[in-house]
Structure 1
């Protein structure tokens, strides 16, 4: 499993602003719909439901929202870079500007966990996050994310 199979280039976006966590989830749902054909409403509902179990803001400006969805065949991702950081109830109480959302099949067990671990490792890398924050081009962001994993494996 690698990030290039989880994340389509057209599922990487830069948002000028997100006014709330709910609005951010709606943006994620819209992008998941346009990039992967997912039902946007079902996607948003699943993200909100998961978030009620505990915030997915992991600290250092990073959030990893995730949800399981009916009808998916494989784990997929959406990445957003926010130009204006958003309060996300993160564990360190810092606003979030890097959001990597994962969507997994409802019955996926270990695959979902492997994907979450992979994304978490990638997003914990300070150098990778600095490169993501320094770029505003979605293609460059996708390249940084997929190259970051290769560098970690080496």
Structure 2
């Protein structure tokens, strides 16, 4: 599995600001509806339920919200870069400006875990995060994410 299998160009967006985690999940729900044909409310509810189990802010300004949903045939990703960092109750207590949401079929099993590992490994690299923060073009962001992942897999 590669990031390019999970993340399409239309699944990348820059947000000038999001006032709260709840608002961010609404933004992700709208993106999932527009790009994946999923119910916005179902995505919001699933992400919120998972987040209630424990914050998905993994540190370094990165959050990896994830959920399992009906209506998906494979694991899919959405990436947001926030101009204004948001409190995400991260493990390092730093605000988040890079958000990679993973949405998986309810029965994804190991594929969901593999996708989380790939995304986590990619966004744990400070160089990759610096490049993501320095670029505003969704196409460039997609290239940074997918090339970084491909070089790590090699």
TM-score surpassing 0.5? yes
> Shift in Å at residue 76 of structure 1?
0.1
Any gaps of 5 or more consecutive residues in structure 1?
none
Deviations 1:27-74 (A, max 9, x none): 001111111111100000000000000000000000000000012110
Distance 1:71 1:152 in 2: 31
In the superposition, the TM-score normalised over structure 1's length comes to 0.98
Aligned to 2:104: 104
Aligned to 2:70: 70
Distance 1:50 1:38 in 2: 17
Deviations 1:70-100 (A, max 9, x none): 1211000000000000001001100000000
SS at match of 1:133: helix
Aligned to 2:33: 33
In the superposition, the TM-score normalised over structure 2's length comes to 0.98
- Please tell me whether residue 43 in structure 1 is matched to residue 49 in structure 2: no
SS at match of 2:79: strand
SS at match of 2:71: coil
Aligned to 2:91: 91
Distance 1:62 1:149 in 2: 16
Any gaps of 5 or more consecutive residues in structure 2?
none
Instruction: Spell out the pairing of 1:1-150 with structure 2 (5 A cutoff).
Output: 1-150=1-150
SS at match of 2:100: strand
> Shift in Å at residue 142 of structure 1?
0.5
> Shift in Å at residue 153 of structure 1?
2.2
